Amino acid sequence: MKLISRTRGVLTAAIAAALISTTGAARAEFPEKPVEMTVLFGGTANTIAQLLSELMSSELGQPVVPVGRKGGGGAVGYSFMAGTAPDGYNIVWNSNSISTTYHTGRIPFDYKAFTPIARVSTEVPALAVNSSTGWKSLGEMVAAAKASDKKLKVGISGKGSFTHLTSAALFDALGIADKVNYISYGDGKAPVELLAGRIDAAIQWPGQFVSYAQAGDLTVLAVTGDTRVAILPDVPTAMEQGTDINISMWRGLAAPAGTPADVVQKLETAAKNAVDSAAFQDAAGKIGFSPAYLDANGFGEVIARDDAFYAKLLGELGMAK
Amino acid sequence: MESFFQALTLAFSPYAIGAVGFGTFVGLVFGSIPGLTFTVALALALPITFSMAPVPAIGLLLGTYIGGMTGGSVSAILLGIPGTPSAAATVLDGHPMTKNGEASIALGTAVIVSVFGGVFSLVVMIVSVDLVSRIAIEFGPAQIFALVLFGFSTICGLCGPSLLKGLISGVLGLMIMTIGLDAIEGIPRMTFGSINMLQGVNLLVAMIGLFAVPFIIEAFSQKDDVSFGDRPMAKVRTELPSFRLLFKNLWLMIRCSVIGTGIGAIPGTGGAIASFLAYDHAKRFSKSGRKFGKGNIEGVIAPETANNAVTGGTLIPLLSLGIPGDPATAIVLAGLMIHGIVPGPALFMNHEVEVYGMYVAVVLAYFWVLGLQLLGIRLFVHVLKVPREMLAVVVLVLCAVGAYSIRNSAFDIYSMAVIGVGAYVLVGLRVPITPIILGMVLGPTLENEFRTAMMLSEGELSIFYTSPTVVIFFGLAALIIILQGISELKLRRRSRQEVQTTDA
Amino acid sequence: MTNQQQNTILGLVLLAVASVWTWLVIDTIPPGFGDGDIGPRAFPLIFGLSLGALSILLLIQAYLRARGVEKPEGQGAEAGSSIHWIPAFTLLVEISFYGVLLEKTGFVIATMVIIVLVMWLNLKVRSPLKIGLMSVGTTLTCWIIFEKILGIYLANGTWINLG
């Protein structure tokens, strides 16, 4: 039974040291209790997190518990995480939102408050319109918007969210930034609002559009990354249509800065094995994201590079604070 | 048809039947234990389903959902502590029935009408998913705002003797839910710089506090009056509702099923509004309306039929539009996605077998609910034999576990304590508690839909009177308020006459 | 205390809450930009003002009733269901203490301590056997059912942890 005292006292340390010698003598081997994974968003982010945490649980031998701390485009969860102990028992299922929340002034600390563990996946936003508009390409939409005296209503997932940023960048690059009115929807409602014709276009994740696209109700005009996405193979990128924009979102794991390197390494290995597993690869195809494992160092470089990119972009779009 | 039989064989495999049964059982346990909620049960069940075949996996999740929805009525009736927000309306008459010694009748009725409501909604869903989802998408922000406002007007029927105090209670509920990060712009409101406050007050935590903490305090303070002994809380009989009783209320059950299915089908509303609307409507149209709140069986039938009818209703936007109605269905959605069952219009083309399998699983789950609950009632009622103060000690622990388990945070235990003690004081001042929970359930939707609607219309208020749906719901809300005003006036005149005669 | 006096106090407290709330809302939450942007301030402000208005109505009603102009509170308002302030306050402290203990010492220790405390303080049980049985029994039953069978993650202590 586990009814032995798990104090960090001498006795436990001695037993732990006897069992395993790689960790420091003052601490029993990580993990000795459940690891809490803070999840910042619902929708696909939550679905992937559920699966990832389950797979990592079997890797680590202790449960990884996903706990939803949603709100403020990630600000709630990041603020919570920044205040937790750097012992590896609190990790965050993070994303580019660390840069957007910081540069839009919602959290007082930036990505350096966290130490990267591993990148897990990437997702590319997609722009869809109602099929009844008849628009087949970005160009047709732009022409129609310019000809009309009404503003284009574009659905996003909340002010300052990643989809908001992507929309702002895309419509800026298309030259119709002043003809757009953003409508915030929580809980993945934008595709339905688009279907009902209350909005003209929406930027969301491909998985949310695929069923409607197959049924012919919505037309997906473009994805904003530099390559097409597997789940929507016929949809061209914005670049292919002559609009210079390359935005995609990564998701990964991070822990508060100061988490010991050996703990990070354990989590990194668990994440790698989870991502490599057949179950994860299989789910990726179904949900509509790309597994993209990257180790802690590589992930750190990506975060730093993207942070500079988004700082500049948000500044140009006038969204930075 | 071929795929239907294929689904039947899949769903009737012993493994699938077992999975549904297991889910239902877990849901019932979590739903019926005060403090624990079936949202937590679903979160725990989800990882188990990853390695299962799609039909048993979804069956297990749906079973947990349905079991939890039904189980929520058990502690609502026995202890006056709802197991889910959807069962809050059941407390109003279910708990008085327990005090009258009719616990088992209330429980039995709750189970049977739940199954009725659930199966009714499933049939509606199967027959008309396409039509209903087409109507449902017509509900944009303005329409949902109007519907929620209509739901809010039912507060009039929940106030008890003082309309004024009921309204105060409702506004308090609305205020509590604005604490935290604002959902649209992410601006902190009334958080005083605290990180914990940013997350806001969790609805389930507040619900536990509102109903369980006053129960504990009452039990502890009654202890002083009576010697410490095996004093039963009420007479305990195990008697099930008669067929006649149920048949007499068939028409009520059908109406409430329609309400539940309809509300459930509208994305982003959920079980609580449905059960309150059903309760209000039952009270308003009942011949024995004045007995409501004192243990009227119709006050149990209405909300319990409606909240289970929501289960079938929410499947409509969930499957055809991919929109979860509440945190619980969001977890079911995640389960569907991982098994590659992507909701949306194409679902019915690509995954016919799985969809039929789900229908069968829902029916199976209701069979399980019926069987397990009718057996369970015999056990549950014995809880009433436990001395009340001992029960309160256990409830205290369960509530702490429940509040903590929702977000793994001790902050939620503190907020439960503060809200609960506040609620106890309010009850002592004859301020009704139910409107608070109504305000809390509806507040965030009310605000967010209004703000989104105004964004859509670029500030034009016309969005609120150009749509017939909106106008109808506003009209209904106004009608309820006017009717309430008239009955208040009548009551006032009558009681004034009484006062004059007695004073004279 | 009569119902009217209670209502007056309730009205005054609520009015104070509403005033502080409204002032804080105006002071700390930015308004919207107009033109369709309602902003985060509007709703809390409306709610605060409504509470203020309702509590003023409650005060007026209490005043009129005390003067005998209005009828007393309708039927069903049984007079003087008194509030047990001491048990209520004790429980507030106990639950908060439970929260702290859960974070620091984990579920098992915290629950045992709290049950002993509640039995001793609130229920005035003095039999060590009863207290012991109740606290160990409840704690172990909950621990086995939740942690081991249902798989709910109970609190883990940061100082010390059993289980």
A15-72 tens-digit pLDDT: 343 444 333 334 568 888 889 999 998 878 888 999 999 999 999 988 898 888 887 7
Express each pLDDT in B161-204 by its tens digit: 788 899 999 999 999 999 988 888 878 898 888 888 888 898 99
- Give the pLDDT confidence score for residue C78 in this predicted structure: 46
- Nearest to residue B79, comparing CAs of B399, B411, B328? B399
pLDDT the model gives residue B459: 84
Q: Does the model's ipTM exceed the 0.85 cut?
A: yes
Domain boundary among A189, A223, A257: A223
- Quick one: tokens of C36? 């369709």
Tell me the per-residue pLDDT of B372-389, one tens digit each, with 9 for 90 and over.
Answer: 998 888 888 888 888 888
Q: Is the pLDDT of residue A14 over 70?
A: no
Q: pLDDT value at position A11? A: 39
pLDDT score of B414 = 94
Same domain for A192 and A254, yes or no, is no
Q: Minimal CA–CA distance to A125: which of A228, A242, A206, A49?
A: A206
Selected residue of C102, C105, C150, C160 to mutate for chain A interface (largest A Cβ count, 10 A) = C160
The CA dihedral of A153, A156, A162, A164, to the nearest 10 degrees, is: 30
Least confident of B115-129, B342-356, B394-408: B342-356
pLDDT, position B135 = 83
Say if strands A249-256 and A114-123 run parallel, antiparallel, or are unpaired: antiparallel
Name which of A184, A205, A231 to mutate to probe chain B: the one with the most chain B Cβ atoms within 10 A of its Cβ.
A184
pLDDT tens-place string over residues B44-81: 899 889 888 888 999 999 999 999 988 889 999 999 99
Instruction: Test C160 with A7 for CB contact under 8 angstroms.
Output: yes
At residue B340, the pLDDT reads 84
Q: Is B459–C71 a contact, with Cβ atoms under 8 angstroms apart?
A: no
Contact criterion met (CB < 8 Å) for C98 and B389? no
pLDDT band (50, 70, 90) for residue C79: very low
CB contacts of A212 in chain B (<8 Å) are: 344-346
The answer to whether residue A78 sits within a structural domain is yes
Determine contact: C32 vs chain A, CB below 8 A.
no
Verify that C46 and C19 share a domain, yes or no. Answer: yes
Look at residue C10 in the predicted model and tell me its pLDDT: 93
Mutate to test the interface with A, among B49, B51, B145, B199 (most CBs of A within 10 A): B199
Q: Is the domain of C61 the same as that of C102? A: no
Number of domains in chain B: 1
User: What b/e string do you get for B114-149 counting C-beta neighbours within 10 Å, with b at 16 or more?
Assistant: bbbbbbbbbebbeeebeebbeebbebbbbbbbbbbb
pLDDT score at B100: 87
pLDDT, averaged across chain B: 86
Give the pLDDT confidence of B87-126 residue by residue, as tens digits.
999 999 999 998 888 888 999 999 999 999 999 999 988 8
Least confident span in A77-91, A95-109, B296-310, B337-351: B337-351
The Cα–Cα gap between A315 and B12 comes to 59
Residue B233 has pLDDT above 60, yes or no: no
Q: Which residue of C has its CA nearest to B427?
A: C83
Q: Which of C21, C37, C66 is the last residue of a domain?
A: C66
Q: Which of residues 107-126 of C touch B (CB under 8 A)?
A: 107, 111, 114-115, 118-119, 122-125
pLDDT for the residue numbered C88:
92
More confident residue, B242 or C40: C40
Q: Bridge partners of A181?
A: A153
Q: What is the pLDDT of residue B267?
A: 75
Instruction: Give C150 or C39, the one with higher predicted confidence.
Output: C39
In chain B, DSSP finds a helix count (H) and a strand count (E) of 21, 2
Cα separation, A231 vs A214, whole angstroms: 11
The partner residue sitting opposite A5, judged by closest CB among C36, C156, C162, is C162
The stretches of B138-270 forming alpha helices (DSSP H) are 141-153, 163-178, 195-198, 203-222, 243-248, 250-265
Task: Give the minimum alpha-carbon distance from A277 to chain B in angstroms, rounded to a whole number.
Answer: 13
Owning domain of residue A173:
126-223
Q: How far apart are CA A225 and CA B463, in angstroms?
A: 36
Name the range with the highest mean pLDDT among A59-63, A181-185, B469-473, C48-52: C48-52
pLDDT at residue C71 in the model: 58
Please tell me which of the candidates C153, C156, C162 has its beta carbon nearest to residue A3.
C162
Per-residue model confidence (pLDDT) at position A10 = 39
Q: What integer pLDDT is reported at residue B415 of this predicted model?
A: 93
CA distances to A52, B192, B496, C136 from B488, rounded to whole Å, are 57, 41, 12, 53
Q: Check if A71 contacts B (Cβ < 8 Å).
A: yes
Please tell me the total count of domains within chain C.
2
**What average pLDDT does this structure show over A268-286?**
92
Establish if A39 belongs to a structural domain: yes
Instruction: Please judge whether B140 and A46 are an interchain contact, meaning their C-beta atoms are less than 8 angstroms apart.
Output: no
For residue C160, the chain A residues in CB contact (below 8 A) are: 5-7
Q: What is the residue whose two structure tokens read 């937590």?
A: B40
Inter-chain contact A5–C163, Cβ cutoff 8 Å? Answer: no
Q: Is A34 on the interface with C (CB under 8 A)?
A: yes
Same-domain pairing of A173 and A203: yes
Burial class (CB in 10 A: 0-12, 13-18, 19+), B99: middle
In a domain, A236, yes or no: no
- Residue C137's pLDDT is 92
Residue A230 lies in a domain: no
pLDDT per residue as tens digits for the range A213-253: 988 899 999 999 988 998 899 999 999 999 999 999 999 99
C15 in contact with B at a CB cutoff of 8 Å?
no
Pairwise CA distance, residues B73 & A11, whole Å:
49
Q: Which residue of B has its CA nearest to A187?
A: B323
The reply to whether C73 falls in a domain is no
Residue C109: closest C-alpha in chain A:
A5
Return the pLDDT at C25.
94
The pLDDT value given to residue C65: 83
For B195, the domain range is 2-503
Domain that includes residue C53, residue range: 3-66
Residue with tokens 């605290």: B194
* A3 Cβ under 8 Å from any chain C Cβ: yes
The reported pLDDT for the residue numbered A90 is 92
Residue A186 has pLDDT above 90, yes or no: no
- CB-nearest to C88 from B174, B400, B421 is B421
Kindly state whether A2 is in contact with chain C, defined as any CB-CB distance less than 8 angstroms.
yes
Is residue C59 domain-shared with residue C96, that is, in the same domain? Answer: no
Residues of chain A contacting C34 with CB distance shorter than 8 Å? none
Q: Residues B197-218: what's their mean pLDDT?
A: 90
Does C160 map to a domain?
Answer: no
Check A184 against B337: CB less than 8 A apart. no
Share of chain A above pLDDT 90, in %: 53
Mean pLDDT of C123-145: 90
**CB-CB contact of B449 with C43 (8 Å):** no
Residue B452 is nearest to which of A44, A66, A184, comparing CB atoms? A184
Q: Give the domain CATH number at A58.
A: 3.40.190.150
| Dihedral sign computed on CA atoms, order B94, B95, B99, B104 | positive
For the segment A110-119, the average pLDDT, to the nearest whole number, is 94
For the ranges B128-137, B301-310, B367-376, B470-479, which has the lowest average pLDDT?
B128-137
Same domain for C144 and C90: yes
Residue A161 maps to which CATH number?
Answer: 3.40.190.10
Q: Please report the residues numbered 128 through 187 in chain A whose beta carbons come closer than 8 angstroms to any beta carbon of chain B.
A: 151, 153, 158-160, 181-187
The answer to whether position A56 is within a domain reads yes
Residue C143 inside a domain? The answer is yes
Query: Model-level pTM?
Result: 0.87
- The answer to whether the CB atoms of C35 and B458 lie below 8 A apart is yes
Average pLDDT for A74-87: 88
pLDDT of residue A21: 37
Contacts of C151 in chain A (CB under 8 A): 63
Mean pLDDT of C61-65: 87
Residue of C nearest to A184 (CA): C37
Cβ within 8 Å, pair A151-B200: no
User: How large is the average pLDDT for residues C17-29?
Assistant: 94
Pair (A131, A210) in one structural domain: yes
**What is the distance between the alpha carbons of residues A277 and B488, in angstroms, rounded to a whole number?**
66
Among B137, B322, B448, whose Cβ lies nearest the Cβ of A208?
Answer: B322
Q: What is the pLDDT of residue B1?
A: 66
Listed residue (B21, B481, B112) closest to B305, CA to CA: B112
**Distance, CA of B386 to CA of B395 (rounded, Å):** 12
Least confident of A19-28, A254-263, A296-305, B306-315: A19-28
